[in-house]
Structure 1
Amino acid sequence: MLPRRPLGNTGLSLPILSFGASSLGQEFRKVDINEALAAVPAALESGMNFIDTSPFYGRGMSEVLLGVALRGVPRDSYLLGTKLGRYSGSHFDFSARRVTESVDISLERMGVDHVDIMLCHDIEFVNMQQIVDETLPALRKEQAKGKVKFIGVSGYPMKMFKFILDQTPLDVVLSYNHYTLQNTMYGDLVPYLKQKGVGIMNAAPFSARLLTNDPLPPWHKATPLVRETARKAAEHCKSRGSDIAKLALQFSVANPEMTTCVTGSARPERVREWARWAVEPMDQQLLAEVQEILNPIHNWFYVEGRPENNDAPL
């Protein structure tokens, strides 16, 4: 079974590897619905009993399918997190009114009476002061009603976490693509986050397939240099009889300061394989070699959302 770690001051403990349900929303490929539904029990049986989703994933499809997959599963046997504020590629609404509506719609879709974690989704796309002044206060009201246990924010730039936490407390934060073999900027933020008493969740150990042998999705923003360097690292792993995806996953779950690492697939056999990898010893020699190969692109990142909400270029 997967080891567990405490999540900040929430009193929750999460498995070191958690199930990301974005794959159920066909964010990476068209999925077979029966296979996708089978991925959820495969995750739960593997000990990945924190599930992360969003109304953005599949524009509601992920939450709806989760509601089907979790039907009849005892509510106290899993922890559930979803998000609000982002509903399509360009549709964002972080108003107080939409907070109330979004919480209720997500609960109805998934067939539950509460979620354990509710995050403001990809706040770098909007005026972040609204999150402090309007969204989070509205979310605290939903928390007081018991519909939401803990609240926080998620997104890509590191800068946004300090912007919010310097003004108001949060229970949890979630970042993606920023604690991987290629980018460890999130790790640099850990002392600040711990000082604020925030639960730290990581996501996307494969950096949207960059650190795998699978083809990148068409929307991936990696430059030619980044793609070529990552390919060299993958080829090196293959020459050593290993898989860069395995090393990437093991690296991302190894840091004890990261409570959990969220990743998902609509393929049950892949979910089970990841759970096995997470508890196998990491090849430290191979890790050192791969980090050397990736060094020219270490901490490379791209701009996401409003330019002013992003980190300063390297």
Structure 2
Amino acid sequence: MNPNSTRKLSAKSGLDVSILGFGGGPIGDQYKQHDNDVAIETVVAAHEAGLTLFDTSPHYGSGLSEHRTGAALRKKPRDSYILSTKVGRYLVPPTEDEPLDRDGFTGGLEFNRKFDYTRDGTLRSIDQSMARLGISSIDCLIIHDCDIWTHGTREAYEFYFKQAMEGSYKVLHELRDQGVIKAIGVGINEVDICMEFANAGEFDFFLLAGRYTLLEQGALGAFLPLCVERGMGIMLGGPYNSGILATGAVEGARYNYELAPPEIMDRVSRIEAVCARHNVPLAAAALQFPLGHEAVKCIIPGAISPDEVQQNMALMAHEIPAELWAELRTEGLLNEQAPVPG
């Protein structure tokens, strides 16, 4: 597949995005701290390679990902890239009562994150993002992490869902109507919660992380057909299920941000064996598979060096024979109903 080929992000937005985009989580010091210059050079390399979609968030390194993304992109022609970031958190300095909390990141800027999906919290988040990016226009804004997995209980999620639909959604809807932004979305890890948002508002796209991959196709049943019906695109994050589909079933492999359990290690080993029989890197199959579905418009893996950008380009371009997908189905490793590339 040509990584520079484009698809419409949604029926109404008019945005053409490269099928391979750039996910900004890793350059926010997600699992380890990275040299600042190399991180910025990585974003530049992605732009120079022809990628047009760059996704970031205040959450990634308490604004560090946005800071680095902006440092790289603000020198580039504004019409040469599509910029996506998120609302739902704003940043505050640590205090004696609330000391610095990295919240799952190894490094980052010296700020704490505050969940707030109200109108005021949303506008504050957008203002802060523009200041960190140093870019005065954002193409896509995403309501971020409003789900049970993030907030811990159904009750807590329902509180924030109501807040998000009465606050963040109305703000983003107004900005889209005014032409200030081009598309609005929701970014979460849970298919059922995607359905709830889809039925509650008019969204252009969903950033779905890890729920439609070579390893698991839970979104295939009701959600992806709904997206096709309504012209909502999928910006797919976590194509490697946070690591294991890139590394393979090696010791210490990560699955959905945790160490992979034995049953996942076994399944990935079997998928990897099929790929090996067809001389296809596991990561190439993982990166290309979701694009077989017409709802999926782009894949946004991260990268932490210019070399990794080139590796992602090569993996997307790697030729995959139809026999590989057929064997995965025969071995019971791929949903029979899942469309495949080509």
* TM-score normalised to structure 2 length: 0.79
- Equivalent residues of 1:82, 1:117 under 8 A apart: yes
RMSD: 2.6
Of 207, 215, 238, the residue aligned with 1:182 is: 215
> For 1:89-120, what per-residue CA distance to the aligned partner results, in whole angstroms no more than 9, with x for missing partners?
68422121110000011011111111110001
Q: Does 1:227 align with 2:250?
A: no
1:56 aligns with 2:59: yes
Structure 1 199/37 Cα, relative in aligned 2: closer, same or farther at 3 Å? same
- Equivalent residue for 1:270, pick from 308, 316, 322: 308
Q: Measure the CA separation in 1 of the matches of 2:136 and 2:143.
A: 19
Per-residue Cα deviation, 1:163-206 (whole angstroms, up to 9, x for no partner): 12222211221101122111122333222123233232212211
Contact 1:173 1:199 in 2 (8 A): yes
Seen in structure 2, the aligned counterparts of structure 1 residues 236 and 281 have a Cα distance that, compared at 3 Å, is closer
- Residue by residue over 1:184-229, the C-alpha shift from the partner in whole angstroms, topping out at 9 and shown as x without a partner, is 2233322212323323221221111121226434942643211232
Aligned partner of 1:33 in structure 2 is: 36
Figure out how many residues of one structure are paired with residues of the other and give that number.
Answer: 299
Name the % identity: 28
Distance 2:15 2:119 in 1: 27
Change (3 A) 1:195 1:286: closer
Deviations 1:122-164 (A, max 9, x none): 1103322222222211223444565433212110111112212
1:58-88 deviations in Å (ceiling 9; x for gaps): 1111001112112311111100000111464
Task: Specify whether residues 294 and 156 from structure 1 end up closer, same or farther in structure 2 by C-alpha distance, changes over 3 A only.
Answer: farther
Number of the residue aligned with 2:244: 210
Counterpart secondary structure, 1:201 = strand
Q: Which amino acid aligns with 1:172?
A: F
Q: Is the 8 A contact 2:283 2:315 kept in 1?
A: no
Q: Which has the higher contact order (CA 8 A, sep 6+)?
A: 1
Deviation at 1:261, TM superposition (A): 1.1
Aligned residues of 1:113 and 1:147 also touching (Cα < 8 A): no
Q: Distance in 2 between matches of 1:237 and 1:260?
A: 22
The farther-off stretch of 285-294 and 89-98 is 285-294
Which deviates more, 187-196 or 82-91?
Answer: 82-91
Question: 1:282-293 residue pairs with structure 2 within 5 A?
Answer: 282-290=320-328
- State which of 171, 179, 194 in structure 1 corresponds to 2:228: 194
Give, in angstroms, the shift of residue 239 of structure 1.
5.9
Q: Which runs of 5+ in 2 are unaligned?
A: 91-102, 105-112, 152-156, 337-342
Gaps of 5+ in 1: 299-314
* Separation (CA, whole Å) in 1 of partners of 2:254 and 2:307: 21
Structure 2 contact 267–333 (Cα < 8 Å) conserved:
no
In the aligned structure 2, how far is the partner of 1:142 from the partner of 1:234? 45
Q: TM-score, normalised by structure 1?
A: 0.86
Q: Distance in 1 between matches of 2:210 and 2:29?
A: 19
Superposition pairs for residues 120-135 of structure 1, below 5 Å?
120-124=143-147, 125=151, 126-127=157-158, 128-135=161-168
Within 5 Å, give how 1:104-119 maps onto structure 2: 104-119=127-142
Who is 2:79 aligned against? 76
